[in-house]
Chains A and B, each alone.
Chain A
Amino acid sequence: MTLAPFDAWHALAGGALIGAAAGGLALMNGRLAGISGVVGSLVAGGVDPGWRIAFLAGLVVAPLAWRLWAPFPGIALAPVPVLVVAGLLVGLGTRYGGGCTSGHGVCGLARASPRSLVATLVFMATGALAVFVVRHVAGY
Chain B
Amino acid sequence: MPRALVSAFVLGLLFGVGLVLAGMTDPQRVQGFLDVAGAWDPTLAFVMGAALVVATPLFRIARRREQGVCGTPMMLPSRQAIDRRLVAGSAVFGVGWGLAGFCPGPAIVDMGAGIAGAWWFGGAMVAGMLVYGWLARPPGALQPTRLVPQATQDAE
Contact = CB atoms under 8 A, between A and B. Distances in A.
Interface of A: 1, 3-4, 6-8, 10-33, 35-36, 39-41, 43-47, 50-52, 54-66, 72-73, 75-78, 80, 82-102, 104-107, 109-115, 118-120, 122-132, 134-136
A31 B100 CA distance: 28
A136 B37 contact: yes
Contacts of A82: 99-100
B86 A77 contact: no
B142 A46 contact: yes
B106 to A, nearest CB: 9
Contact of B70 (A11, A29, A110, A127): A29
B144 A18 contact: no
B35 A132 contact: yes
B13 A127 contact: no
Interface of B: 2, 4-29, 31-32, 34-38, 41-44, 46-59, 61-63, 65, 67-70, 72-77, 79-82, 85-105, 107-115, 117-118, 120-133, 136-137, 142-145
Contacts of B6: 54
A23 B59 contact: yes
Contact of A87 (B25, B72, B96): B96
A102 B77 CA distance: 14
B103 to A, nearest CB: 4
